[in-house]
Amino acid sequence: MAQGSGDALLDQLRARLAPAEWPLPLERLPKGTALVGGAVRDGLLDRLQDQPDLDLVVPTDAIALTRSLAQDLRGTCVVLDAERSIARLVVGGWTVDIARQDGADIEDDLWRRDFRLNAIAVSLQPWGQLWDPTGGLTDIQKGSLTAVSEANLTDDPLRLLRGLRLVAEIPLMISSQTMGWIERHAARLPEAAPERILTELQRLVRGEHADAAIATLKNVPLLRPWAAEGQPPAPADTEGLSKEEAAVALPLARLTALISDDGMVQLRASRALRQRCERLRFWQLRTGQTPESLQEHERMRLHDELGQDLPAIALQLPMAEKGIWLRRWRDADDPLFHPRAPIDGNSILKTLEIEPGPLLGRLLHHLKLEHAFGRLKTPSEAVEEAKRFLTRESDAL
């Protein structure tokens, strides 16, 4: 949390923000430029990333300024909102959003923002003034999430979900009044662009405190138009997974539990993400806690389809079985957990002089299955089994 006040607080914030390391020299910014939003909040909380996203408010035409900076700094300018004069500068791996001041002064602008801890600004040109008209510093000290006003939440209904995303990322308690506003206006979330909703959800499920946010989310009808009926994994379910494995498995399992397959389509998820969620949901329902009861061809298909997402289904397994699955999955040479034929298609074509086509596909699938369950180990064994398979296929005609 932020400590100190006045000059000491500003010195601490500047040290954490380290503007000298930004790809955007402060002297290139017009007088009256202020840094607002997440970077200020996270600087005060001492949770800044190495390359934090920067949000600047300027008293001039933000789009013209961004285009000029992009040209001079060899970056890229993306216009985000022409009417409100908001643009994005991408330079040196950094993202800098630049917006024209909304209101007569910076305090007017801050009063239009979503939550009080996001309504704090620090002057960049010149450096040295901190604005906190709504009480955001107090909220940061208390660990509270308080909306600036009810109207500010409904002006952009995505803010209703953003509050829970912040709870997932930062240990915060939502004030009772703000929670009441979120519940009252939950049905308005679909007014926001579906892509923006999905982006917030993807950040939420990756949050360090996502379990608390999801518990609240399950009791508020924000996601009703897209909701699934799944049960998100519990914190204890990650036992046995490495930090890196959990960082992939948990968000996927959470998202699959929250959003239905149709919901993913409506939120315009990428085809790859939709397929990952669909496959995980299918195998969660198909296996339950007894995947060993699957027939051989189903078991191989499970590992074939899930691939690198297998730890997401391992979350639901009993600990003893989960440990076995994870050990085998971590072994890249395990023939069942990483199914593959012991001989490639080109070798089969050359050795047995058969034509490419459906028959070759069936043969390779058969060899992969035999290899997965230990009945084939070497290429020569695979060739002999291929001959037997082709004889059986020929006799069946």
Choice among 183-187, 336-340, 392-396 with the minimum mean pLDDT: 392-396
* pLDDT value of residue 287: 83
pLDDT in tens, 22-67: 999 999 999 999 999 999 999 999 999 999 999 999 999 999 999 9
pLDDT in tens, 235-282: 889 999 999 999 999 999 999 999 999 999 999 999 999 999 999 999
Structure tokens at 106: 């910076």
The predicted model gives 177-196 an average pLDDT of: 97
Structure tokens at 238: 């990650």
pLDDT exceeds 50 at position 74: yes
* pLDDT value of residue 289: 61
Residue 293's pLDDT band, with cuts at 50, 70 and 90, is confident
pLDDT in tens, 214-245: 999 989 999 999 999 888 998 889 999 999 99
Please check whether the two domains, 6-142 and 150-226, share a CATH topology: no
Instruction: Tell me the CATH number for domain 6-142.
Output: 3.30.460.10
CA 331 vs CA 325, 328, 374, 377, 379: distances in Å: 10, 5, 15, 16, 20
* pLDDT value of residue 62: 97
| Alpha carbon 224 to chain centroid, angstroms | 20
Domain 150-226 sits in CATH 1.10.110: yes
Q: Where are the domains of the chain?
A: 6-142, 150-226, 228-337, 345-396
* pLDDT value of residue 26: 94
How many whole angstroms separate alpha carbon 265 and alpha carbon 315?
A: 25
* pLDDT value of residue 3: 41
Average pLDDT, the chain: 93
* pLDDT value of residue 309: 97
Choice among 128-132, 286-290, 323-327, 374-378 with the minimum mean pLDDT: 286-290
* pLDDT value of residue 282: 95
Residue 397's pLDDT band, with cuts at 50, 70 and 90, is low
* pLDDT value of residue 1: 40
More confident residue, 180 or 354: 180
Residue 4's pLDDT band, with cuts at 50, 70 and 90, is very low
| Alpha carbon 62 to chain centroid, angstroms | 29
Give the length of the chain: 397
